[in-house]
Structure 1
Amino acid sequence: MTGAVVVLIINLIVAGLLSASFTMVAVYDPKQVAARWIACVYGLGAFYVLVEFGIANLGGSRLVVVGSFAAFLLALALFNVGIARKYLVPVPWRLMAAVLAVSIIACYLIQDMPRESFLRMMIYQVPYFVMQAIGAGTLWRARARGRLDTVLMCLLAMSSLQFLSKPFLSQALGGTGASPQTYLSTDYALVSQAMGTVFAIAIALLFLVILARDVIGDVRILSETDALSRLLNRGGFEDRAKALLRKADAGGRPMALVICDLDHFKAVNDTFGHASGDRVIRAFAGFLRDTASAEHVAGRIGGEEFAILLPGANLVTARLFAEAARTAFCGLPVEGLPPHLRFTASFGVAERMPRETLSDLLSRADKALYEAKRGGRDCVRVATDYPDGRYDARAS
């Protein structure tokens, strides 16, 4: 058994395992559409290896050889579809279809050329180079690309170049053999198959790591998200807020906290039922999402209590935000409830003092909220602490 045969056997096993791995990812998380495409890629890759075995041991007609070539090229095309789906980039269907059509015709026509011909090898390998380069180019067009994604793009570019190097390797290593049956005994076959294996495994494992990163990220988001309001839950809010407080300490930025509570919420549940109360919570949470900017951190920290952390905001800015939110919300109808009904919320505002902990900031804002409740609800109170420890909650 030659070294090239051993590598082909390894390729077959690895392709099968990778196809199964990506299938498991797709089953576990149906949102990972790319995993389905990549599972098909490596399934098709395993079929390609079997065909290569057949051609090397039994020979093959022109159509079988062209079919083997087309199967591998199609696998590369499907990989590009997976890349495009993963990174939300338009799939270059027309370009890939043109490459497939022209390449298959060219592969059919070169079968009469000598196997050792450099031109024949170049015509055979260039389509693989182009198809893999399309994948790298597709990833280059992705808007959001982290470090791992950039490494994957570089691997795809390097993989495309290794296809382009094979005609030169063939000349340097003594050719591809006088016939398909002698191909696997050549040094070129060993080097070529080994190169392909290294790149295929590296690309697949990195793609699996990227998918796993995204799945873990989704799980973390779900664990930090309140199912009813789709805002951060208390734990998620506190984690994000503490991270922002650390950044504020390092950069000296001001920061303010707004706590709000829906007024007479128990009466809503008692009068219209808990389903209607849930509608009010969803309506208020949606209103907060629309009102807050991308830099703000909003969460549902209690039954009908919400908090918004405003990085870069001082007391005046936070007070204006709270007052605008209060005024706008009390004019909004809630779907599913009588159209004449309007709901209100009370707000407590506190500006963070130097090096103040989140717990202390929450406590001061909560005191201001309590004063807003005592002051008749549907209003804003601003917490002000003095150096001597006195506390005041000023009306807006």
Structure 2
Amino acid sequence: MSGANFILLINLSVAGLLAAAFMAVALHDAGRAPARWFAFGYLLGMVYSAIEFSIPAFSDARLPVVAAFAVFLAATIAFNGGLARKYGVAPPWSPMLVFLFAATVAVYFVQDLPRQSLVRMMAYQLPYAVMQFVGLAIVWSSRQRRGRLDLILMGVLAASGLQFASKPFIAHALGGWGANPQAYLQSSYALVSQSLGTVFALALALLTLAILARDVLAEVISKSEMDMLSGLLNRGGFTRQAELAVLGAVRQGVPVALVIADLDHFKSINDGFGHASGDRVIETFAGLLREAAAGHHAAGRIGGEEFAIILTGTNLAGARLFAEGTRSAFGTLPIDGLPADNRCTASFGVAELHPGETIADLMRRADEALYLAKNAGRDCVRVSAGPGGEWPANAMVVSSRSG
């Protein structure tokens, strides 16, 4: 058995294992459409390897050669379909399928050219290169935030496209790709070509598996940090996001403030109108915070009726105004399940991060300010003194109450 035959068998086995791996991801989560397309692509890779391995058994290899080409090109198209699904880009199915048909027809007709013709070799390899660059364009055009793994994937797609484009010249340098299709697997070029194919197929598969695993892990973390009733972060998730916000604010030299709110007389709402009405009060207040956060700030439900929002780039005065606006808006909102004349209110504590403080210090001071607001009769805003007990200059203009 030649070295190329051995590599081809390895490719067959590797493609099968990778198809199984992607299928396992798809079966784990029925919503993983990208994994199904990747699995289909590597299944087609198995078919390609099987056809290539069988070519020496044919006296006229024209049809199996064209079939192998078409199947492998279809595998790259399926892979691009998975990339499009993963990165939220509309899959360019029509152009890719038209390209598949045109390229297959071209390969069929170039079979009449001399075997070592550069045109013939380029007709066989350049379509693969084009599909790799289409995959690169799909990732590049995505509006999703690209991390390090995504950038590496783009680099590997570019390198894979270049290696396909260079293969005609590699074949020429190594003395061609065999006197006929049956002799291909005995050539030095076949060993190099199949080895390169294995390396890039593995690299792309491992990267896409790692990216899918990263996304699954991110979803698990997100769900574990989410409060289902309010749709906001739970206490653990909020604390983690607040810590990141504080670190970022310190690094960038911008202010950061914390607002903690507590729904007033919430137990009496549950006792008087039922827990379903209490849940709607929580959902309504959470909706206000979620709209105010607008993806720029982290908001969370950190207790039964206690909420918090970290405001990056906002000083104490700005955070106080935010709290006053939220307090005023909440007091005017009708709540389903409560009498029309019943209005719910909330109390607020506000604190700005001081040099040398941690998120724990900031939360403690905001809690102290909230305690002052509740002792002042509720439905009002109070700000926190600094770490040394000094009050900010605007501390006396911080409290208001509805009628």
- Same fold by TM (over 0.5)? yes
* 1:238 CA drift (Å): 1.5
**1: CA distance between counterparts of 2:339 and 2:26?**
44
**1: CA distance between counterparts of 2:164 and 2:251?**
50
Residue 54 of structure 2 corresponds to: 54
**1: CA distance between counterparts of 2:322 and 2:364?**
20
User: What is the one-letter code of the residue matched to 2:25?
Assistant: V
* 1:390 CA drift (Å): 8.9
Matched, 1:129 2:129: yes
Note if contact 1:99-1:131 (Cα within 8 Å) is conserved in structure 2.
Answer: no
Listed as ranges, the matches of 1:153-164 within 5 Å are 153-164=154-165
Residue 117 of structure 1 corresponds to: 117
Listed as ranges, the matches of 1:65-76 within 5 Å are 65-76=65-76
Taking only the aligned residue pairs, the percentage that are identical comes to 56
Residue 209 of structure 1 corresponds to: 210
* 1:170 CA drift (Å): 1.9
Residue 279 of structure 1 corresponds to: 280
For residues 222-245 of structure 1, give each alpha carbon's deviation from its aligned partner in whole angstroms, at most 9, with x where no partner exists. Answer: 222222222111112112222332
Are the structure 2 counterparts of residues 341 and 122 from structure 1 closer, same or farther at C-alpha, using a change threshold of 3 Å?
same
Listed as ranges, the matches of 1:15-54 within 5 Å are 15-54=15-54
Mean Cα deviation higher: 17-26 or 59-68: 59-68
**2: CA distance between counterparts of 1:290 and 1:296?**
10
User: What is the one-letter code of the residue matched to 1:313?
Assistant: T
Residue 140 of structure 1 corresponds to: 140
User: What is the one-letter code of the residue matched to 1:21?
Assistant: A
Matched, 1:395 2:399: yes
Note if contact 2:242-2:359 (Cα within 8 Å) is conserved in structure 1.
Answer: yes
Q: TM-score, with normalisation over the residues of structure 1?
A: 0.93
Note if contact 1:54-1:60 (Cα within 8 Å) is conserved in structure 2.
Answer: no
Mean Cα deviation higher: 4-13 or 383-392: 383-392
Please, which runs of 5 or more residues in structure 2 have no aligned partner? none
Residue 292 of structure 1 corresponds to: 293
**1: CA distance between counterparts of 2:56 and 2:336?**
69
**1: CA distance between counterparts of 2:358 and 2:252?**
16
Residue 357 of structure 1 corresponds to: 358
Note if contact 1:29-1:215 (Cα within 8 Å) is conserved in structure 2.
Answer: no
**2: CA distance between counterparts of 1:288 and 1:175?**
68
Residue 185 of structure 1 corresponds to: 186
**2: CA distance between counterparts of 1:134 and 1:362?**
49
For residues 43-96 of structure 1, give each alpha carbon's deviation from its aligned partner in whole angstroms, at most 9, with x where no partner exists. Answer: 111111111112233455543332221111111111111111111122222321
User: What is the one-letter code of the residue matched to 2:137?
Assistant: G
Are the structure 2 counterparts of residues 204 and 315 from structure 1 closer, same or farther at C-alpha, using a change threshold of 3 Å?
same
* 1:341 CA drift (Å): 4.3
Mean Cα deviation higher: 381-390 or 248-257: 381-390
**2: CA distance between counterparts of 1:173 and 1:252?**
60
**2: CA distance between counterparts of 1:206 and 1:386?**
48
SS in 2 for 1:26: helix
Mean Cα deviation higher: 1-10 or 29-38: 29-38
SS in 2 for 1:350: strand
**2: CA distance between counterparts of 1:113 and 1:337?**
83
For residues 10-40 of structure 1, give each alpha carbon's deviation from its aligned partner in whole angstroms, at most 9, with x where no partner exists. Answer: 0011001111111122222334321111111
Mean Cα deviation higher: 383-392 or 21-30: 383-392
**2: CA distance between counterparts of 1:340 and 1:50?**
76
Are the structure 2 counterparts of residues 336 and 61 from structure 1 closer, same or farther at C-alpha, using a change threshold of 3 Å?
farther
**2: CA distance between counterparts of 1:336 and 1:114?**
83
**1: CA distance between counterparts of 2:273 and 2:61?**
77
Are the structure 2 counterparts of residues 161 and 385 from structure 1 closer, same or farther at C-alpha, using a change threshold of 3 Å?
closer
Mean Cα deviation higher: 238-247 or 223-232: 238-247
**2: CA distance between counterparts of 1:184 and 1:353?**
71
Residue 310 of structure 1 corresponds to: 311
SS in 2 for 1:295: coil
SS in 1 for 2:85: helix
How many residue pairs get aligned? The number is: 396
